Structure 1
């Protein structure tokens, strides 16, 4: 896929997540944010906190990788690795209907400061927009990001960005179902 087209698509998805968080979640009561889903799944705050734990892991790695990579505007096309494609497709709510058990360290508590969780999610989406804009100037296939569940496995930054954003989409849909 053409790099700038992909980054523009990812940027629009992040902007959508940011707008949803501001419009739908930011002004909800603590009680509404912490109410478990009718299917006994996670509350809105737990969905967002789960995403925040991934942001805490990935965003600094993305920023570090971009800071250490020299500018390279020559890269026009991105090619996903087999691991990248597998990771992205497994999280895609349109393709992967399979449920996953959250990994240790990414299981949200029931006792959350819901307002803080929403504010952190909004902050992380704003950081992610800056990362995507910086990525347009770099060869993001050269930047390698260790995956959170097995740090010896690495995705190129293009695949890692797609994975994180599609994972966010999956759990934003889950949170929205709680409204």
Structure 2
């Protein structure tokens, strides 16, 4: 199975997880925090929304500008791409501080956050489909916090999906803690 197809399946699963396991929770449950300095489920989703607001348009532009020629459907990795992916890989349990404007801590969030996440996932699915006709090796996606540096299109797509997977696991851990507390 191609990497793009795997990324598409993962993104679809994340969308399904939110739709079936998180969307039906009450606002109090969605805003539950395991500790004062941790993120709620909505804060996890808002963090991902903030990244999607930047990366979805940046990826759309990169894919559009690098399609129509010879497609390079394999993802190859630069040093920076490998490092970026290692940081967000869900298996990496080390906590990382996020840049201030991407930190949703103590934001006033509601159901619109969930809906926005689901909309971004639909957009990401379209981008992953369109990427099959692009040169995934092309360095064309500026890094959000330092836009002079660029990721390859394939690296950026993988970064977005792994980052979402990492924070979805975080949101599901919050839900599990909430359920433990409700039982106790």
TM-score after normalising by structure 2:
0.89
131, 135, 139: which one pairs with 1:139?
135
Match of residue 94 from structure 2: 98
Moved more, 13-22 or 101-110: 101-110
Paired residues of 1:66 and 1:138 also in contact (CA < 8 A): yes
- Deviation track 1:84-130 (CA, whole Å, cap 9, x = no partner) reads 01110111121x22111111210104243320000000000110000
Name the residue aligned to 1:170: 166
Question: What CA deviation, in whole Å up to 9, does each residue of 1:26-69 have, x standing for no partner?
Answer: 11111110111258510000000001000001000111112222
1:19 maps onto 2:13 in alignment: no
Other structure's SS at 2:147 match: strand
Contact 2:74 2:137 in 1 (8 A): no
Contact 1:147 1:153 in 2 (8 A): yes
Kindly state the Cα deviation for residue 70 of structure 1 after the two structures are TM-superposed. 3.1
Q: CA deviation at 1:74?
A: 4.3
d(CA) in 2 for partners of 1:172, 1:148: 20
Aligned to 1:125: 121
Mapped partners of 2:143, 2:115: distance in 1: 25
Which residues of structure 2 form unaligned runs of 5+? 176-184
Aligned residues: 175
Q: 1:76 to 1:65 in 2, by over 3 A?
A: closer
Question: 1:139 offset after TM fit, Å?
Answer: 1.0
Instruction: Rate the CA distance shift 1:76–1:14 in 2: closer, same or farther, 3 A.
Output: closer
CA RMSD between the two structures = 1.6
- 1:75 Cα offset (Å): 2.1
Question: Which consecutive unaligned segments of at least 5 residues does structure 1 have?
Answer: none
Tell me how far 1:20 sits from its aligned partner: 0.4
User: Residue 155 and residue 90 in structure 1: after superposition, are their counterparts in 2 closer, same or farther (change >3 A)?
Assistant: same
